[in-house]
Amino acid sequence: MPARPLRVAVVGGGPGGLYAAALLKRLDPERHVTVWERNPPDETFGFGVVLSDETLGGIEHADPVVHAALSEDFVRWDDIDIVHRGVRHRSGGHGFAALGRHRLLEILHERCRSLGVDLRFRTRAPDTAGLAAHHDLVIAADGVHSTTRETHAAVFRPRVTEHRCRYIWLAADFAFDAFRFDIAETGHGVMQLHGYPYAADASTVIVEMREEVWRAAGFDELGVRESVERCAKIFSEALRGRPLRSGNSAWTTFRTVANERWSHGNVVLLGDAAHTAHFSIGSGTKLAVEDALALAACLEERPDVATALAAYEEERRPVVASTQRAARASLEWFENLGLYLGLPSRQFAFNLLTRSRRVTHDNLRLRDARFTGAVEREFGCPPGTPPMFTPFRLRGLTLRNRVVVSPMDMYSATDGVPGDFHLVHLGARALGGAGLVMTEMVCVSERGRITPGCTGLYTGRQAEAWRRITDFVHTRAPGTAIGVQLGHSGRKGSTKLMWEGMDEPLPDANWPLVAASPLPYKPGGQTPRRLTRAQLTDIREQFTTAAERAARAGFDLLELHCAHGYLLSGFLSPLTNLRTDAYGGSLERRLRFPLEVFEAVRAVWPAERPMTVRISATDWAGGGTTAEDAVGIARAFAAHGADAIDVSTGQVVAEERPEFGRSYQTPFADRIRHEARVPVIAVGAISSWDDVNSLILAGRTDLCALGRPHLYDPNWTLHAAAEQGYEGPGAGWPDPYRAGSRRPRTGRTDAPKPRLRLGG
């Protein structure tokens, strides 16, 4: 490939392809840039386009001519309206800019022609191999149904996911005065309208509903004209009785596109050909334009095409992945909209606004303090109290705030006895202000340990050592509760300490393992023995004996560990439970032994003290536990007396493929809370107090468990209070620490201000 691409082919005349063509021609007028578009110049999908200030800033910097033309036609507004059961709530300060899609294309057509780009409409591009052979660079901007991508699928390795809602892209001949979300609860199910202005006299209107609602309402049997008329009637109030029009749109399902690679030789994917993001966060055109900006910059900065394409992908991939995670969260929120309809109306609106996890409590408070304050009052926050510092009651235990120090294995015990390390570790976090501090998984037997460094409650000496720790918490950190997590390692036992080789078998002195089925956790690992009925009874008694010791040791709460592939989790997952007896097969039968253990422990655990259960809500592997299964598991434990479900995910099978990201496990907790109607503890990359406030106030969880943030900062909760200016009962500083309740001053960082201003 040449160092400087002079002959450039662009396949696809959408905004991304056109803008890439204009940028490359502007950067080097000697380039010959050709755009092939199979449709006429005025044919497009949809009506309006929303661009962020960030994207517009990039356009302004790269091409002021295009920016100026766009600015002349933009419609700008700040408000979002959410209509929930006839009540409208408005949130301001959001800042939107939109224009018609046809006008956007006209501006880009004009710019390309003025620069000398060869635009070929109503013309299919030659085959990719031919283009690649006769051009220095081929930009495939041919959309979600990209022919280029499919031609080289073996190289790009695309993943296309089709989702559960049907939608149709329409327009109305009047301008909404805000971005509007309207909910219609019909006899067939829930439908929603997304609407926003794109001109002084026109608005985009998208009507969306789940597939089964679409069919039940008879839309599958209606033509486009009849569908449009029906939608106008359903949302007549939002539309002020005015009609809708369809353009070239028809009912479709959204497809999320992702690719393992974005380039092949001198062919590179751009925009929807490379990735898609659900329209509910308005990022499709934004991503395509930003792709074009990045690609042009990389071609300008790098010495040759190959390194430029690699740099382009490296730069854009994390941005796109983050956007797709947000879009997926938003998409799933609308797919499951029915779960949230019972929320108080302001909380429903806040939940909708924060659905993608990109808009947060603190961010929304900056945008619209009035609206956010009203949501807080409706939630029950006393004046000046962030949501995370409101109390929460579980049985006879009232937690002073919603922060939990998550169970974290320390692998630092000797013979299962917690020592000074555990006293300092747990004591420091209790002093740090959390409402509840959890122990690591405390093993119910010597053979139930994960590693030789795990703690236990199978001897009196261990119980005495734990009593020392609970006494410290209760006397030196009053107001903080301490909970114990009981578990058995199952097939994941007899391994090295984490820092010596996580999940790796011990080189010697191994102990035999037991599990629901004789399946090793990892290839080459020890194969566990299948538990007999008599052994199940013995293990159940080990749990109850440990629970009795935990009660005498002074723990305030007990959590049963049924997650992460340990023994009880191994019964719940169909990937690890292959039994054909009464303890395997259907979910009801897979639940049998964990429920037997829960009932036995609940019977000996003091009635006034709460019990929680940690579960893996998904195995992140095909054929494993599903989100629907997780709801069923949560319901079963709640029916047997669980006071809350601690919702984690994964670590059940070694071949899992988690979808990591900020707060990535919270949607599972959210669903369980609303479907199973049981309090939940959310976990999983919750790292900021803003996240905690957002999740609590939106009603997605009742408590938030944080692990790594508390390793980084034992006083995380107290510091969160200080940073928010909160000094109430939800975060009391220990008396010896009060002098440190303000951030220490640092050296001067401002520069001296100029004293004189001299005229020229």
Q: Catalytic amino acids?
A: 566
- Cβ count near 48 (within 10 Å): 26
Bridge partners, residue 410, by sequence:
none
According to DSSP, residue 638 is labeled H
CB of 728 within 8 A of CB of 382? yes
DSSP code per residue over 197-242:
EEETTEEEEEEEEEHHHHHHTTGGGS-HHHHHHHHHHHTTTTTTT-
Burial of 545 (0-12, 13-18, 19+ CB in 10 A): middle
Among residues 370, 400, 393, the alpha carbon closest in space to that of 728 is found at: 400
254: region left, alpha or beta (phi > 0 left; psi from -120 to 50 alpha): beta
Torsion sign (Cα): 110, 111, 116, 119: negative
Radius of gyration of the chain (CA): 29
CA distances 190 to 339, 534, 573, Å, are 10, 50, 32
Burial of 639 (0-12, 13-18, 19+ CB in 10 A): exposed
List CB contacts of 733: < 8 A, sequence separation 6 or more.
433, 718, 740, 741
Encoding tokens for residue 651?
């670590």
List CB contacts of 473: < 8 A, sequence separation 6 or more.
426, 427, 430, 437, 480, 481, 482
**What is the rounded distance in angstroms from the CA atom of residue 12 to the CA atom of residue 273?**
10
φ and ψ at residue 754, rounded to 5 degrees: -65, 140
What's the length of the chain?
760
**What is the rounded distance in angstroms from the CA atom of residue 617 to the CA atom of residue 204?**
38
